[in-house]
Amino acid sequence: MVILVVASLVGGAYVGYQNGYTNSRLQLDPELQRQININANITRENEALNQALHNASNMNTVKIGYIAPNPTDLELSKPLIEQIIQPDLNEYAGKLGYDVTFQFVIMDALDQDGVHLQKIQEMKKMGVNLVISGGWSSMISSSLSYVNDRDMLLVGTTSTSPWGLATPNDHLFRMLPPESALSTSLAGIMWSYGVKSVIIFQRSDSWGKGFVNIFEPAWIAKGGELAGDPIKYPLGGTDFSSYLQAANVQAQAAKAKYPEGDRVGILLLAFDEDGLIVSQIKDYLPLYDCVMFSGYSHIGLKTDVFIGNPEASHLKTFTPSIQSFKSSIIDELKFRYPSGASYLNDQGAYLYDGAWAIAASVLEARSANASMVASVFPDVCGRLYGASGWCRLDQFGDRAPLPLDVWFYKQDSSDVKPRYYAGLYEPDTDTMTWNSGELGYTP
């Protein structure tokens, strides 16, 4: 906007100068004639620009797509969009004096990557080039080439994989930090706790491998040690005995070097099998006497198998998760949409903010063209404080790391708490503030 104002002022200044005394010097100063020609061109360009801006401020209907990953999400996202998000955006545009109506087109990917791409293609045929996706990373990955090649814009609200998706200068923006942020954050959390040597127990897939590839250099840079090569277990199994035995060998050597306190840690990189793994660790000493940190941070997206688990309590099992949203914005949304309050604690908040970021970018760019919207989107997000907090993006167009609440588990017959608050990790400063009162000690 500053550039537009300056351009208009330049045009106005030129007109005043030309009317004053240009004609009397026209034959005497060829250089002046050249400058006049340049300024005349600038004036014509400004007039064309101003006309374009006038036309853009009357864009009429701007369509925004939303692709739900499955019917369960659709049941929650559809009323949020139709009853709250769409009316809010249109009210905002109206108050600013824009003759713009935002209209959402909602589809369902039916839990399939291929269907997600199909829906993206359908959106394009309908003239919908600005799309929000609630799909996971594999869905985003299946559609990204199509989005980039056909000048669309895609905003992800649940995708977190950094591998192949955290790239600069594409048309994908994500409202959640990639898991690379969690990898480096866990290194900071573990080091702050006092861990010196770490045993990595990792599922054998691209997620586990990618997590380790980012964690290891961050951990070593702090001065941390690796107890050995990562222990990689295959997917789909239920008996982890041979892998736990290999981890126990590493624990024996690490404990011999660091016998006092919680100086040897386990980094557990598991998904839904995490509870089964933890329940089997008790048979392996000294591995069972190490302190555990979980790399699966999505508390609330699955049943928390560590609640009331005696093995998890023995290991403490520190688990980070993005700090709960605390603002008047999220409180008001929950009041307006009480049946989706839990949804708003996670995906719903990112959906709401993603929609606002698109709408604000359209109004700022004065265009619904995906390339023009993409060009201002990061700057708009950097100035947007939404339901999920400050929406600033990193250099790859992904959400910048957010503060992490760290939780741990302990068992007591009188306990009514599902988990305990261990403290807050601030990624901007790489600092961990421990809740010594709840822990009962200071790490």
Domain residue extents for the chain: 2-51, 63-176+326-387, 180-323+402-439
pLDDT at 22: 28
pLDDT at 18: 26
pLDDT at 36: 41
Convert 156-194 to b/e letters by CB count within 10 Å (16 or more is b). Answer: bbbbbbbbebbeeebbbbbbbbbbbbbbbbbbbbbbbbe
Indicate if 180-323+402-439 has the same CATH topology as 63-176+326-387: yes
220 token code pair: 């070593």
How far apart, in whole angstroms, are the C-alpha atoms of residue 87 and residue 91? 6
Asked if residues 321 and 291 have their Cβ atoms less than 8 Å apart, the reply is: no
370 token code pair: 């995906």
pLDDT at 23: 33
3-state class (DSSP) for residue 197? strand
Which value, in Å, is the radius of gyration of the alpha carbons in the chain?
A: 27
How far apart, in whole angstroms, are the C-alpha atoms of residue 241 and residue 281? 8
Nearest to 389 by CA among 342, 356, 435: 356
The per-residue pLDDT string of the chain (443 residues; one tens digit each, 9 = 90 and over) reads 222 222 222 222 222 222 232 233 233 344 434 444 544 454 444 444 444 444 444 468 999 999 999 999 999 999 999 999 999 999 999 999 998 999 999 999 999 999 999 999 999 999 999 999 999 999 999 999 999 999 999 999 999 888 788 888 899 999 999 888 999 999 999 999 999 999 999 999 888 998 999 999 999 999 999 999 999 999 999 999 999 999 999 999 999 999 999 999 999 999 889 989 999 999 999 999 999 999 875 544 445 778 778 899 999 999 998 888 988 999 999 999 999 998 998 899 999 999 999 999 999 999 999 999 999 999 999 999 999 999 999 999 999 999 999 999 887 655 666 788 999 999 999 999 999 999 999 99
Asked if residues 338 and 305 have their Cβ atoms less than 8 Å apart, the reply is: no
pLDDT at 414: 54
Q: DSSP per residue over 23-68, as a string?
A: GGGTTT-HHHHHHHHHHHHHHHHHHHHHHHHHHHTT-EEEEEEEEE
Angstrom CA distances, 270 to 107, 263, 273, 276, stand at 31, 22, 6, 10
Which fold would CATH assign to domain 63-176+326-387?
Rossmann fold (3.40.50)
Angstrom CA distances, 304 to 276, 312, 411, stand at 12, 11, 14
pLDDT at 206: 83
pLDDT at 412: 63
354 token code pair: 């993603």
Q: DSSP per residue over 74-95, as a string?
A: HHHHHHHIIIIIHHHHHHHHHH
Nearest to 432 by CA among 401, 395, 405: 405
Q: Please give the helix or strand (H or E) that residue 213 lies within, else none.
A: helix 206-221
pLDDT at 207: 85
* CATH class of domain segment(s) 180-323+402-439: alpha beta
